[in-house]
């Protein structure tokens, strides 16, 4: 597995720190009469060589374990071989290059001890890196699962919404056929275009401009049914047309307003779309039907869920004595 930039940077920092720490006792040779000074002398060149070699060894431990992650036994073998090879090569080079006064056994014991401590600390850090990798992998997996779940939710709601609109349209069509067959043919033509748009739109989030263009077809359906009894007024400045919102947000709201309110020429139903408080307001005058109509709440519930999933914000519903208002957030 390839180490990330952060892992490489931290590996270098750790290698420097560990190399410095394990070589601090060598500095005590500067103290006259000290224990280390009795068996060894401090030589700056030798100290720099030992410090640099320990750093390279520490970084090699990181490289072997992070870049070439393998099974435990194979990794253990690699580490043992690295420890023995690093110790033997370093001890040989240092004794060859520098004139050491320390007894051979004591020199080898101290050298091996430093390398063993370096490897132990580095392997502990490697284990921490592995745990962090596992945590990141689980976070990515969880995020992917949430994304798949959200897409499934959206698809389910879309499947619920299309039949909902289809059944309402058939109910409207049945009434028009009885009253005016010629108008029914026009209604069927516009209805087919509306469904074609619904099926062809694949984007979950669209611009307000596109959403209003799709709404024009549905508004034509309403006008053919209600004639002068309903009016949909769109009062939205041009600068807001590129704002994003979930696809098929407006049609269910217009549909609900037409379904649950009386609309006559004497008392027309007025539906208004306008911008206020940097959000899209869909408002209609309240003219409740004279009988209690069964309401499933599918349209508003699905719209709220889609806004929550896609935009991270929910719709706002307000009602007073004269108006019913749904406020939509933008992306």
Q: Are residues 322 and 184 part of one domain?
A: yes
Contact 315, 326 (CB under 8 A): yes
The whole-angstrom separation of Cα 32 and Cα 238 is 85
| Conformational region of residue 278, where left means phi above 0, alpha means psi within -120 to 50, and beta covers everything else | left
Domain that holds residue 12: 5-141
* Strand positions, DSSP E, 172-268: 205-207, 230-235, 244-246
For residues 32 and 95, state if they share a domain: yes
Q: What is the pLDDT along the chain (331 residues), one digit of tens a residue?
A: 556 777 778 888 888 888 888 777 776 655 555 555 455 556 777 778 888 888 888 888 887 787 766 676 777 787 788 888 887 887 778 777 876 666 667 777 777 888 888 888 888 888 888 888 888 888 888 777 777 666 656 565 555 555 656 666 666 666 666 676 777 777 777 777 776 766 666 667 889 998 998 888 788 878 877 778 899 999 999 999 999 998 888 888 888 888 888 888 888 999 999 999 999 999 999 988 765 555 556 678 778 888 888 888 899 999 988 999 999 999 8
Is 13 in the same domain as 98? yes
Specify whether 102 is located in the same domain as 189. Answer: no
Residue 44 resides in a domain:
yes
Spatial neighbors of 242 by CB under 8 A, at least 6 apart, are 207, 208, 209
Number of structural domains (the chain) is: 2
SS3 206: strand
Answer whether residue 147 is part of any domain.
Answer: no
Out of 141, 168, 201, a domain closes at 141
**Tokens representing 58?**
């520490």
Q: Tell whether 37 is covered by a domain.
A: yes
Q: Is residue 170 part of a domain?
A: no
Within a domain: 171: no
**82 with 209, same domain?**
no
**Same structural domain for residues 207 and 93?**
no
Looking at the structure, tell me whether residues 311 and 191 fall in a common domain: yes
- Residue that is written with structure tokens 């071989």 in the block: 81
> In this structure, are 135 and 184 located in the same domain?
no
Question: Is 239 in contact with 288 (CB distance < 8 Å)?
Answer: no
Q: CA neighbours within 13 Å on the CB side: how many for 114?
A: 27
Same domain, 124 and 205: no
Residue finishing a domain among 141, 166, 197: 141
CATH number at residue 306: 3.30.565
Residue 116 maps to a domain: yes
226 in Cβ contact with 172 (< 8 Å):
no
131 and 199 assigned to the same domain: no
3-state secondary structure of 42: coil
The whole-angstrom separation of Cα 28 and Cα 244 is: 69
Domain finish residue from 115, 141, 167: 141
Q: Is residue 168 part of a domain?
A: no
- Cα–Cα nearest to 303, from 254, 236, 247, 263: 247
Closest to 270 (Cα-Cα) out of 261, 199, 136: 261
Residue 174 lies in a domain: no
Helices (H) and strands (E) in the chain, counts: 9, 7
- Tell whether 132 and 184 lie within a shared domain: no
CA distances from 135 to 140, 142, 170, 320 (A): 9, 10, 53, 50
- Check whether residue 27 and residue 117 sit in a common domain: yes
pLDDT for 223: 81
């Amino acid at each position: 597995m390839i180490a990330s930039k952060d892992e490489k940077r931290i590996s270098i920092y750790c290698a420097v720190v560990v190399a410095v720490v394990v070589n601090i006792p060598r500095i005590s040779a500067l103290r006259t009469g000290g224990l280390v000074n009795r068996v060894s002398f401090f030589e700056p060149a030798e100290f720099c060589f030992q410090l640099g070699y320990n750093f390279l060894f520490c970084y090699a431990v990181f490289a072997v374990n992070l870049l070439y992650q393998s099974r435990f036994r194979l990794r253990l073998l690699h580490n043992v071989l690295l420890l023995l090879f690093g110790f033997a090569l370093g001890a040989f080079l240092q004794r060859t290059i520098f004139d050491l006064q320390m007894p051979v056994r004591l020199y080898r014991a101290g050298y091996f001890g430093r390398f063993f401590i370096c490897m132990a600390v580095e392997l502990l850090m490697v284990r921490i890196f592995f745990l962090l990798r596992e945590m990141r992998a689980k976070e990515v997996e969880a995020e992917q699962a949430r994304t798949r779940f959200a897409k499934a939710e959206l698809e389910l709601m879309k499947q619920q919404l299309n039949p909902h609109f289809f059944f309402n349209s058939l109910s409207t069509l049945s009434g028009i056929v009885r009253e005016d067959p010629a108008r029914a043919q026009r209604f069927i033509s516009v209805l087919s275009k509306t469904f074609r748009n619904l099926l062809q739109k694949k984007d979950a989030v669209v611009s307000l401009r596109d959403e209003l263009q799709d709404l024009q077809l549905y508004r034509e359906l309403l006008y053919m049914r209600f004639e002068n009894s309903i009016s949909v007024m769109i009062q939205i400045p041009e600068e807001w047309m590129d704002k994003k919102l979930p696809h098929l947000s407006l049609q269910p709201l217009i549909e609900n307003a037409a379904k649950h309110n009386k609309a006559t020429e004497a008392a027309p139903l007025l539906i208004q779309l306008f911008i206020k408080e940097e959000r899209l307001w869909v408002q209609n005058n309240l003219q409740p039907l004279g009988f209690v109509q069964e309401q499933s709440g599918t349209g508003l519930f699905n719209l709220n869920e889609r806004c929550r999933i896609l935009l991270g914000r929910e719709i706002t519903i307000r009602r007073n004595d004269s108006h019913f208002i749904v406020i939509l957030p933008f992306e």
